[in-house]
Amino acid sequence: MFTKLELQVIGQTLTQKRDWITKNIANAEGSAKTQMEQTLQTIESALQKITAQLRPASAEKAPVNHYISEKSVSPLRQAAIHRRLELAPGQIRALIVDDDQLICELVSAYLHSVGIFLVDFANDGMKGVSLMYDANPPYDLVLCDWNMPEKSGIEVHNAMRAAERYLGTVFMLVTAVTEAKLIRAAIEDGVDDYVVKPIEQEKLVKKIARFFPLVTNRQ
């Protein structure tokens, strides 16, 4: 049996290995990629066992985090989500896609207020997709208008999800669309959340904090 300290060290080492694989797997091909996927599964299983052993016997069962533990979530996405949950605000890379410059500046100011300073802008959907494909490392958070020239917000989302390295990226629609049927369809297609214009700072920050627990409203 390992001591508590030994388990913590092993857990830290496995976490670093997991993060490295998550960062580099998009560039792997063939058998190398298959091996990395299998290694990720093994690491996730080991980390779960270590967490269980470190948890005090008297501790209450932790609530299920549906962003991580749903069976439908692939091992690669699980690893990407685990990494995202550990990001400090200053580490989060954000992209704002909107053809309204004032909206871009407003959302950027709201992000800055909680310590998210790595922010890029795109004034149409096509440019947004181009920035996402060129970004290295990839963006962690994308805030995108729904109705724009060149490509709609849904088209931008679909283009992003087609890239494996964006499996763990949070995509939120910033929109004047309020029709429940359309919003429900967007969520079912994989959009993580939405913010209705006019944008309220407190609501936006709360929604972001759902996906990035280390983000808090510092007002």
Residue 135 structure tokens: 């970004």
Third-level CATH fold of 89-211? Rossmann fold (3.40.50)
Question: For 73-111, how does the pLDDT look when each residue is reduced to its tens digit (9 = 90+)?
Answer: 567 777 777 888 889 999 999 999 999 999 999 999 999
Question: For 150-181, how does the pLDDT look when each residue is reduced to its tens digit (9 = 90+)?
Answer: 889 999 999 998 888 888 899 999 988 777 78
% helix / strand / coil in the chain, to the nearest 5? 55, 10, 35
- For the chain, the domains span 4-85, 89-211
Containing 145, the helix (H) or strand (E) segment is: strand 141-145
pTM of the predicted model as reported, rounded to 2 decimal places:
0.66
Per the CB < 8 A criterion, the answer to whether 207 and 172 are in contact is yes
Q: Dihedrals φ, ψ of 163, to 5°?
A: -95, 125
